[in-house]
């Protein structure tokens, strides 16, 4: 089970939201690059970076911040948030992003997905489905798609998408455990490679996730639980400042 730390960027800062609510925000670090370096020093094999401003506006507001992360780290970076055009996808892939995550556009413009798959390998294009009670929400989780989550997945599968990032919105940022049943239901109906996201809080949640490997769940994105040091492995970090266990040398460390 590949564990992928999440870095959400808003107004150029590293933040976490509760259930995607922009009014429930906590700032962890002013510079997302510093956070990326912490996760890399903790041996992260991949990072999941989201431009929250772009998720609302469709404009790549934090592009420069994301480019800094890609240039500084030596591991794959996947990026999501407001990627709704061929130009936006090309711009990210051209700077070395490993794969892009398409969310809203999978609902509003499925032709874009088909076009992208004629230009790029399926491993470079991932669809993100953020669902509440089984219904995908789009545009920064502010609108309903009006369809079932697995129906959207099956449409994407027909086009050629191989991987879905599935988020149970009701669990995201709540620190109350992930949606085991909702994820199992979705993965079982989709029959695709699944990256789980939203609500993973403890080592017990990870043990439960392992049980879903038979349904195609092979990786998990973890956000707030890592930032709040919920896992025993994080005891090796030296300091605890504002909810983050910081390595005293992180500000000067680089991986490349």
For helices 110-119 and 86-94, angle between their N-to-C axes, nearest 10 degrees: 40
Taking the C-alpha atoms of residue 21 and residue 6, their distance in angstroms, rounded to an integer, is 16
Catalytic one of 8, 53, 149, 168: 8
Q: Which residues contact 52 (CB under 8 A, 6 or more apart)?
A: 8, 9, 10, 15, 17, 22, 81, 140
Establish whether 172 is a catalytic residue. Answer: no
The two three-digit tokens of residue 149, written as one number: 């989550």
Taking the C-alpha atoms of residue 249 and residue 32, their distance in angstroms, rounded to an integer, is 16
Displacement of CA 173 from its chain's centroid (Å): 12
CB-CB neighbours of 85 under 10 Å: 14
Q: Is 167 helix (H, G, I), strand (E, B) or coil?
A: strand
Taking the C-alpha atoms of residue 228 and residue 62, their distance in angstroms, rounded to an integer, is 24
Q: Look at residues 26, 52, 49 and name the one whose alpha carbon lies nearest to residue 39.
A: 49
Taking the C-alpha atoms of residue 47 and residue 75, their distance in angstroms, rounded to an integer, is 8
Establish whether 74 is a catalytic residue. Answer: no
Taking the C-alpha atoms of residue 247 and residue 41, their distance in angstroms, rounded to an integer, is 9
Half-sphere exposure of 171 (CA within 13 A, CB side): 26
Catalytic one of 53, 130, 168, 172: 130
Q: Which residues carry out catalysis?
A: 8, 130
């Amino acid at each position: 089970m590949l564990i992928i730390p999440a870095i959400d960027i808003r107004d150029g800062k590293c933040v976490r939201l509760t259930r995607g609510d922009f009014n429930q925000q906590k700032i962890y670090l002013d510079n997302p690059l510093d956070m990326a370096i912490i996760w890399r020093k903790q041996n992260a094999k991949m990072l999941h970076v989201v431009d929250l401003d772009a998720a609302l506006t469709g404009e790549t507001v934090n592009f420069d911040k994301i480019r800094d992360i890609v240039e500084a780290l030596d591991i794959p970076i996947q990026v999501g948030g407001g990627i709704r055009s061929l130009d936006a996808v090309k711009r990210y892939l051209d700077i070395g992003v490993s794969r892009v995550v398409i969310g809203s556009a999978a609902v509003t413009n499925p032709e874009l997905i088909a076009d992208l798959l004629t230009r790029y390998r399926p491993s470079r294009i991932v669809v993100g489905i953020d669902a509440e009670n089984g219904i995908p929400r789009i545009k920064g989780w502010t609108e309903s798609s009006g369809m079932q989550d697995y129906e959207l997945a099956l449409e994407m599968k027909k086009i050629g998408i191989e991987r879905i990032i599935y988020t149970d919105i009701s669990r995201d940022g709540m620190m109350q455990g992930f949606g085991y049943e909702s994820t199992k239901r979705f993965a079982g109906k989709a029959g695709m490679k699944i990256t789980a996201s939203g609500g993973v809080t403890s080592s017990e949640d990870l043990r439960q996730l392992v049980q879903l490997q038979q349904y195609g769940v092979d990786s998990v994105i973890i956000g707030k639980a890592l930032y709040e040091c919920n896992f025993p492995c994080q005891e090796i970090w030296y300091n605890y400042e504002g909810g983050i266990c910081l390595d005293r040398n992180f500000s000067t460390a680089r991986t490349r």
